[in-house]
């Protein structure tokens, strides 16, 4: 077998070290991919697949992209879940002996993006490290584009469910993990990750060892012990964070000084929201379309900066639990809401502030260009003005003032050194301001004077030769030249030296021109090298101040988020809620924050809500579909959540007892990937709620039990209400079409009936959207079907069938009602008594059931079938007669 060419052998050696990534191999002005990588890239990027001689009989498959536009191609590959390894020249080609040395300078993955053009500016891009063992779970996650690093541990019972809840809150783009073989949940966890289309990879086991984690954390953060970072002994986060730092250093190939602190937290510090609740309440994106518009975030986000937008998103995803912390935010929001002039001034200045967090990261990372530094300077110039606006405030705003560093030294350095409109590249000169460095000044003068000499030469040669079309030009191949069109060639002096012949002209040089060219190009070469060196020095000086920039950025992000909540409160007529540690929730004239914004006519109907842990614990809500039951229940949940993030609420007034969790069971759909039916999904979610809720939780339950038969569904719904009342005590909104459940009011402690009012006009109905006391006596299903546009023939036939069913089934209905009443009376006397099982075994004689089971349908003739049916009908009548006696 023939050997590979030296260049291709170099490629193969590097590729062998990065088998899990697509290797972009720099050759001249292109990044090339070969073999299988080329086939993948050509398919995913829709570019031409060609071939290249590689020293073997068959040409190597190859494709490539220009180096100047490589970022857009990398973005497309990362979006599709691929890892990309960037292989560049690491030595000067002019000094290389043999083939120029190349190596991977960075590995880009979905969780390690830093290019702001490839990121959602108002959303964090997290890389998560997960460690699991019998001791518990360690979770660490970082946004490398901002330097934010967090870690926590999850211990005890239900740790897997808590882990999944936390990951759905974080919403990472990439996960690395190691799970001890002693745990049996790996497959289930991988199935969980598949729901979110994450890039997930098993990482080195030896990186997930506590001793290694301690070592790498001490080295990275330059501390004597991990306790200095806030860790307690045997904290699982030590292990997950150590592996995370190792992964970053391995992929980024540099020291990440902007990751300079770690926030260690407990999941119990904030309200826990599981994936189902986040989805059903549409906190940051809609269920349909996955768009921001139509979500709670869409309503609340009026932030002027990217970092403020990310801060507000984090507040929404993790509501507070401590009343004092919530009130601190509310007081700051109140200052904003009440002072229109202050809001306008803050917005006016904040909109000129760029993303300081990501700018600081780029400076530290070594990827900031001259325009990034100008953006940094522009932002810093606004900070003293912003600080002055709130310098006299108290509370949280005073805390923000104390954390704002005006960074005057950094601003003055950039102002003195970088021109106001520099090029993007810092390798071609033209970025250092005149007066900053004496040698740069001298070289700039030399270059300027040389170019003036060139311009003067052109005019002199025109006058001397009489060639009106003569001009002095320049290109990188021939340098400076004198160009003369062919019609004037007879006037060219003998002193001109022919250099190049083109179709319409000739190009010449002179000794004087070449001498000046040498001076100009020499000065330009020196100035480019010197400006590059100076720019790196300036960037490094600023990089040493990254922590100050980050601290100021965090303070401005909080101010921007508070401004946004104040602006929304004023714009939408929101009120300040009263937060307590009591178990009650009282909302007067509450409105759904999103629905009212989506309505063009502003005719949203407000509703009152009162709930507590005693007499008004469980609200059973009845009414037809489309009447607004789900909207009302979501409205209550969103108002509570808004209050606990420190936002004013859409209501006339509100007193909110802090809740530890909000659960929702709204709607259902088949989970085909997990092999689960609609009903199985519904029951799984319900099991999670009943196993996790506490007396301080808020439960939103929409039509529990509808995914199965009527009697089974009714039984489950009834039993759930009993369980919540007896064992949980959580405040519950429970909508249903099982009107039999409304009879539980007065029978089970804390149950109250409410209905959505409806006005009937003939065979039509009008939804009034008002929640009032009492229960609905029917579901208006056929009327709703008419409103939905079903054909008149279908509606008419449905009426006929309904009447027939009601007439023929009256005996069974009365029997069921009696059974229900008897059981309710029994429950009222002793709730511990087992409730009546609402299935065929309780309605008919067991022998009838056995008869039905024994029928062999395949071997039964039509006559035999009629006889069997008649016999069953007779036995049923006898059974009912005996029951009535």
DSSP string across 667-728: ----BGGGTB-HHHHHHHHHHHHHHH--TT-EEEEESTTTTS-HHHHHHHHHHHHHHIIIII
Beta-ladder partners of 341? none
The reply to whether 180 sits in an annotated binding site is no
The reply to whether 523 sits in an annotated binding site is no
pLDDT of residue 859: 62
Spans in the chain with pLDDT lower than 50: 669-675, 810-813, 816-817, 820, 823-824, 826-844, 883, 885
Look up residue 509 and give its DSSP letter: E
pLDDT of residue 411: 97
97 phi and psi angles, rounded to 5 deg? -105, 110
Per-residue tokens: 452: 């003036």
The reply to whether 624 sits in an annotated binding site is yes
The reply to whether 147 sits in an annotated binding site is no
The reply to whether 629 sits in an annotated binding site is yes
pLDDT in tens, 343-371: 999 999 999 999 999 999 999 999 999 99
Q: What angle do CA 147, 68, 108 make, to 5 degrees?
A: 35
The reply to whether 446 sits in an annotated binding site is no
Query: pTM of the prediction?
Result: 0.84
How many angstroms from the chain centroid is the CA of residue 424? Answer: 30
The reply to whether 630 sits in an annotated binding site is yes
Alpha-carbon gap, residue 392 to 383, rounded angstroms: 16
Q: Are 8 and 60 in contact (CB under 8 A)?
A: yes
Alpha-carbon gap, residue 693 to 707, rounded angstroms: 22
- Could you tell me if residue 84 is left (phi over 0), alpha (psi between -120 and 50 degrees) or otherwise beta? beta
For 871, the 3-state DSSP assignment is helix
793 phi and psi angles, rounded to 5 deg? -65, -40
Look up residue 491 and give its DSSP letter: G
Q: What angle do CA 764, 769, 771 make, to 5 degrees?
A: 120
pLDDT of residue 816: 47
474 phi and psi angles, rounded to 5 deg? -150, 140
Note the maximum CA span of the chain.
Answer: 134
The reply to whether 608 sits in an annotated binding site is no
Give the closest residue to 78 by CA, choosing from 32, 39, 47, 119: 119
Give the closest residue to 85 by CA, choosing from 103, 66, 113, 108: 108
């Amino acid at each position: 077998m023939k050997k590979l060419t030296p260049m291709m052998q170099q490629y193969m050696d590097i590729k062998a070290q990065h088998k899990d990534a697509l290797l972009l191999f720099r050759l001249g002005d292109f990044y090339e991919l070969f073999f299988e990588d080329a086939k993948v890239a050509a398919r995913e990027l829709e570019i031409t697949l060609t071939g290249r001689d590689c020293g073997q009989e068959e040409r190597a498959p190859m494709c490539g992209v220009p180096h100047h536009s490589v970022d857009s191609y990398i973005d497309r590959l990362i979006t599709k879940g691929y890892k990309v390894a960037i292989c560049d020249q690491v030595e000067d080609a002019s000094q290389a002996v043999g083939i120029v040395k190349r190596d991977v300078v960075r590995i880009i993955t979905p969780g390690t993006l830093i290019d702001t053009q490839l990121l959602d500016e108002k959303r964090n891009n997290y890389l998560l490290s997960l460690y699991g063992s019998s001791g518990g779970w360690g979770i660490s996650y970082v946004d490398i584009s901002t330097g934010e690093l967090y870690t926590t541990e999850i211990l005890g019972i239900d740790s897997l469910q808590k882990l999944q809840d936390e990951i759905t809150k974080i919403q990472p783009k990439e996960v690395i993990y190691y799970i001890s073989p002693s745990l049996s949940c790996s497959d289930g966890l991988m199935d969980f990750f598949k729901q979110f289309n994450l890039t997930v990879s098993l990482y080195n086991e030896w990186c997930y060892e506590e001793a290694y984690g301690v070592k790498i954390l001490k080295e990275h953060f330059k501390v004597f012990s991990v306790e200095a970072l806030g860790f307690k002994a045997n904290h699982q986060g030590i292990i997950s964070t150590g592996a995370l730092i190792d992964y970053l250093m391995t992929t980024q190939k540099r020291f990440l000084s902007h990751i300079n602190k770690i926030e260690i937290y407990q999941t119990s510090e904030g309200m826990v929201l599981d994936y189902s609740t986040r989805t059903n309440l549409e906190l940051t994106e809609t269920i349909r379309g996955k768009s921001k518009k139509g979500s709670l975030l869409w309503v609340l986000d009026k932030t002027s900066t990217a970092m403020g937008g990310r801060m507000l998103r984090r507040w929404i995803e993790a509501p507070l639990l401590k009343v004092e912390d919530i009130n601190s935010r509310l007081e700051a929001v109140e200052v904003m809401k009440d002072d229109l002039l202050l809001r306008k001034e803050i917005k006016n200045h904040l909109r000129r502030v760029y993303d300081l967090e990501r700018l600081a990261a780029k400076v530290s990372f070594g990827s900031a260009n001259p325009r990034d530094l100008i953006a940094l300077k522009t932002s810093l110039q606004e900070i003293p003005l912003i600080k002055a606006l709130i310098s006299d405030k108290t509370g949280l705003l005073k805390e923000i003032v104390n954390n704002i560093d005006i960074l005057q030294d950094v601003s003055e350095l950039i102002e003195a050194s970088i021109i106001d409109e520099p090029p993007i590249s810092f390798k071609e000169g033209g970025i250092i301001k005149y007066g900053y460095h004496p040698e740069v000044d001298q070289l700039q003068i030399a270059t300027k004077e040389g170019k003036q000499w060139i311009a003067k030469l052109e005019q002199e040669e025109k006058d001397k030769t009489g060639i009106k079309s003569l001009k002095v030009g320049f290109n990188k191949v021939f340098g400076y030249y004198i160009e003369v069109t062919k019609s004037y060639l007879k006037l060219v002096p003998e002193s001109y030296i022919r250099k190049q012949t083109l179709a319409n002209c000739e190009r010449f040089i002179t000794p004087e021109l070449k001498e000046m060219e040498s001076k100009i190009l020499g000065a330009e070469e020196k100035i480019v090298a010197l400006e590059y060196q100076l720019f790196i020095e300036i960037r490094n000086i600023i990089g040493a101040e990254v922590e100050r920039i980050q601290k100021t950025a965090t303070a401005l992000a909080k101010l921007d988020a508070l401004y946004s909540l104040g602006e929304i409160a004023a714009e939408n007529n929101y009120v300040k809620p009263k937060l307590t540690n009591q178990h009650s929730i009282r909302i007067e004239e509450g409105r759904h924050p999103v629905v009212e914004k989506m309505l063009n006519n502003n005719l949203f109907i407000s509703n009152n809500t009162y709930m507590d842990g005693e007499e008004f614990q469980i609200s059973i809500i009845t009414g037809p579909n489309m009447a607004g039951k789900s909207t009302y229940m979501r409205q209550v949940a969103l108002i509570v959540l808004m209050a606990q993030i420190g936002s004013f609420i859409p209501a006339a007034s509100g007193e909110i007892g802090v809740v530890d969790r909000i659960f929702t069971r709204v709607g259902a759909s088949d989970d085909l990937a997990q092999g689960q039916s609609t009903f199985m999904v519904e029951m799984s979610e319900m099991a999670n709620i009943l196993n996790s809720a506490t007396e301080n939780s808020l439960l939103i339950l929409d039509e529990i039990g509808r995914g199965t038969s009527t009697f089974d569904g009714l039984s489950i719904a009834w039993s759930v209400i009993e369980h919540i009342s007896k064992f949980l005590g959580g405040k519950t909104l429970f909508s249903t079409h099982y009107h039999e459940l409304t009879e539980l009011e007065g029978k089970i402690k804390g149950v109250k009936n409410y209905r959505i009012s409806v006005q009937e006009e003939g065979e039509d109905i009008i939804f009034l959207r008002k929640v009032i006391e009492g229960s609905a006596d029917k579901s208006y299903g056929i009327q709703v079907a008419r409103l939905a546009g079903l054909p008149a023939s279908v509606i008419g036939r449905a009426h006929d069938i309904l009447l027939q069913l009601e007439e023929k089934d009256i005996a069974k209905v009365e029997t069921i009602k009696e059974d229900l009443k008897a059981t309710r009376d029994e429950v009222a006397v002793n709730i511990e008594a087992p409730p009546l099982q609402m299935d065929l075994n309780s309605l008919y004689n067991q022998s009838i059931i056995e008869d039905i089971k024994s029928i062999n349908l395949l071997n039964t003739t039509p006559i035999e079938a009629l006889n069997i049916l008649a016999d069953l009908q007779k036995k049923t009548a006898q059974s009912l007669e005996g029951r009535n006696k």
